[in-house]
Amino acid sequence: MPLHVIATAKQVMDPESPPSAYRVDREAKRVVPHPATKIPPVINGFDENGIEAALRIKDAVKDAKVTILAAGPSFSMDVMKKALAMGADEMVLVQDPALDNVADSTVTAKVLAAAVRKIGPFDLIISGRQASDWDNAQVPLGLAELLGVACVPVTRKVEVKDREVVCERILADGYEVVSAALPAVVTVSNELGQPRYPTLRNIMAAARKQPTIWKLADLGLAPADLAPRLLVMDLYIPEKTSQCELIKGENEEDSGRLLALKLREAKFI
Amino acid sequence: MTSPRGVLIVGEHTNGQLGAPTLELLAHGRALATALGEELAIALLGESLGGLPQEAIAYGADKVYAVTDPLLKEAHLDAYLGTLVKACEAHAPRIVLLARTELGRDLGPRLALRLNTALAQDCLEVRLDSDKRLVAVRPVYGGNCTAVVTVASLPMMAAIRPKTAEPLPRNPSRRGQVIQEAAGLAPSVIRTRVLQRVQEAQEGLRLETARVVVAGGRGLGGAEPFHKELQELASVLGAAVGATRAVVDIGWVPYSYQIGLTGKSISPDLYVTVGISGASQHMAGCSGAKVIVAINKDSEAAIFKAARYGVAGDWKKVLPAFTKQLRELL
């Protein structure tokens, strides 16, 4: 049996969008991209690091299969197929209008857990440490609990040796080397390194691959399973009023000098 | 089971001291407990706890669940999780609060799932509505939006960002109850093994506690200015040196320098940024700074929206003159 690695991926609004690209539908309590910007969505950056981690394992152990798993109300196939073009073997999309604007991470974790069970046996699940929209950092941890497997969060290196996953978990002042028996869930951070670029060969192969698409009903989930317990009461764009005093001297050196004098005058130094 | 009551906070400690985020959490918890007219309890876990329970009472706790077990020697996630699930089941709190620290960030979501409830993450502010429901305010979309959320199940859980409250004044004569409990942990709950712990040395002061911080972004153009011009400024000001995620990703400085959403949270009196544009995910880590000073060549950069004083100019010219004048003043 090849080693089976599942990498989760969330489609998100491009976090590099300028603040002006954000609009809030306050009634629906959701963020909507500004219609004029037309910035395409992306795969969450940390999830791309996770896909890279999965592909590195595949490179190292040779006999491995990487499945991409995502859940959402709808997907841009151009965006999601990047994961296949990077070198993943298969992709499962749980696509259902009921997954629109889900703010409760527990609900997402339940959906992914049901999808993982339907996919079948797995050895390792790799996710990004958090998504760039709600920054909850909850879904993979909840997924580990629901599947009853070990969990190693926020790592920068992931290797599989002798039915164990060995990771470097990032700490504020260094790192620790942590191991867990498979199956397990691991989350990765950007320190893992840049995700690889799709090769032409993989792009061609990805174009021919059809993702498996499931509805929630295919996973045997009842609406009651999906009732959120984290409720969004309000969502708005915070007002930012600038109070910045720009220091302008005769030239740039003079500005630097005046800045120092200003800080002293205001008693900040 | 008794109906859920009171506020329980998850305490953290290192080297025989309660962590600063825990002291802040006691202040948040005290306000909620007083508003509810119920007790504030803290769970303290460790191999041994010494004077920590009394210390937690001095900072606002009414009750301390002191859980000691050799398996709790290190703040191991699996061991903490198993212990806290039991404590929450036994004491049925109405509200559970964690600090969004390295430990709390990874513990909170798992605890919420085990207790079959939900967790409000990364909160800046928590309060009660008229139905005694926990209402939390938190930034989303990298700080571009603000969400107000509530938890519709019990216990209502929130992970609160450090530096969002001042600890209460320490009152050593304050009285409270310390309840010793056994963890009763089966070693099998521990599924992950720490093989090795490696400290990566960082020069100078700690970012999290420094009174003055200077930091550089991609605008510095390379690794060298971090060790030269920025370091000189730091020496003059007695400051810690930090960096943006972009700079860490490129590899100019190690991760330990990173300030931001996925790095360190700082709250200095003075924060001087050089060549930092002010991306939301960076600003999320310095919202506690009292005064921000920005040097950046792009006068339209977002950093000037957050800064109190700024110079729009080339740092190569501005910074040496700034440092020189500071040296004369200090």
- Residues A149, A72, single domain; the answer is yes
Q: Which two tokens stand for residue A171?
A: 């700490």
* CA distance linking residue A173 with residue A170, whole number of Å: 8
Query: How much is the pLDDT for A223?
Result: 78
Same domain, A22 and A141: yes
pLDDT of the residue at B1: 52
Handedness of CA A204, A205, A208, A212 (dihedral sign): negative
How many alpha carbons lie under 13 Å from residue A152 in its C-beta half-sphere? 34
**Helix extents (H) in B156-259:** 224-227, 229-237, 245-250
Please state the length of chain B: 330
| Listed range (A139-153, A211-225, B199-213, B214-228) with the worst mean pLDDT | B199-213
A244 with A162, same domain: the answer is no
Reported pTM = 0.91
| Count, residues in chain A | 269
- B102-114 and B77-91 helices cross at what angle (nearest 10)? 50
| Long-range contacts of residues B262-265, Cβ cutoff 8 Å, at least 24 apart | B262/A129, B262/A130, B262/A189, B262/A190, B264/A172, B264/B207, B264/B208, B265/B161, B265/B162, B265/B163, B265/B208
Report the alpha-carbon angle B276-B277-B278, nearest 5. 95
Contacts of A250 (CB under 8 A, 6+ apart): none
Centroid of chain to Cα B54:
23
For the record, the structure tokens of A156 come out as 């920068």
Residue A209, min C-alpha distance to chain B (Å): 32
Q: How far is B178 from chain A (nearest CA, A)?
A: 31
Q: Is the per-residue pLDDT at A62 higher than 90? A: no
Rounded to 5 degrees, φ, ψ at B222 are 175, 180
Contact A119/B at CB under 8 A: no
Contact list in B for residue A156 (CB cut-off 8 A) is 255
From B52's Cα to the closest Cα of chain A, the distance in A is: 23
List the single residue in B121, B145, B294 with the smallest CB-CB distance to A137: B121
Residue type, B23: L
With CA atoms as reference, the chain B residue closest to A190 would be: B249
Regarding whether A189 and A85 lie in a shared domain, the answer is yes
Distances (CA, A) of B264 to A25, B201, B226, B282: 32, 15, 18, 10
pLDDT for A235-249, tens place per residue? 999 887 778 999 999
Residue with tokens 């990498």: A7
Q: What's the rounded mean pLDDT across residues B108-124?
A: 95
Verify that A251 and A174 share a domain, yes or no.
no
- What percentage of residues in chain A have a pLDDT greater than 70? 100
Whether B31 contacts B125, CB under 8 Å: no
What residues of chain A, 31 to 70, have a C-beta less than 8 Å from chain B? 31
> What percent of chain A has pLDDT above 90?
81
Q: Which residues of B touch A166 (CB under 8 A)?
A: 195
Least confident interval from A6-10, A124-128, B188-192: B188-192
Tell me the shortest Cα–Cα distance from B301 to chain A, in angstroms.
11
d(CA A7, CA A113): 13
Neighbours of B224 (CB within 10 A): 11
Number of folded domains that form chain A: 2
B171 near B58, Cβ under 8 Å? Answer: yes
Assign A76 to helix, strand or coil: coil
B136-164 pLDDT tens trace: 999 998 888 999 999 999 999 999 998 88
Q: How much is the pLDDT for A36?
A: 79
Domain membership of residue A264 as a residue range: 239-269
- Tokens 């924060």: give the residue: B271
For an interface test with B, give the residue of A134, A143, A168 to mutate (most B CBs within 10 A).
A134
pLDDT at A167 over 90: yes
Give Cβ neighbours of residue B165 (< 8 Å, ≥ 6 apart).
B24, B25, B27, B28
Residues A23 and A149 in one domain: yes
pLDDT digits (tens, 9 = 90+) for A121-144: 999 999 999 998 999 999 999 999
pLDDT of A39: 82
For residue B131, name the pLDDT band (cuts at 50, 70, 90): very high
Domain match, A171 and A253 both = no
**Cβ within 8 Å of residue B172, ≥6 positions away:** B54, B58
Distance CA A207, CA A193 (A): 26
Inter-chain contact A109–B113, Cβ cutoff 8 Å? yes
Can you give the pLDDT at residue A137?
A: 93
Q: Does the residue A60 lie in any domain?
A: yes
Whether A196 and A249 share a structural domain: no
Residues A215 and A266 in one domain: no
Torsion (CA) B18, B290, B210, B160 in degrees, nearest 10: 30
**What is the rounded average pLDDT for all residues in chain B?**
94
Same domain, A198 and A252: no
Contact yes or no for B195 and A178 at CB 8 A: yes
Please calculate the CA angle A6-A133-B245 and round it to the nearest 5 degrees: 90
User: Residue A232 domain-assigned?
Assistant: no
Choose from A25-29, A38-42, B86-90 the range with maximum mean pLDDT: B86-90
Residue A154 lies in a domain: yes
How many CA atoms does the CB half-sphere of A30 hold within 13 Å?
9
Q: Is residue A125 part of a domain?
A: yes
CB contact under 8 Å between A138 and B105, yes or no, is no
CA of A45 to nearest chain B CA: how many angstroms apart? Answer: 12
Using CB atoms within 10 Å of the CB of residue A79, give its burial: 0 to 12 exposed, 13 to 18 middle, 19+ buried: middle
Domain assignment present for A234: no
Distance in angstroms (rounded) separating the CA atoms of residues B26 and B40: 8
Whether A255 and A171 map to the same domain: the answer is no
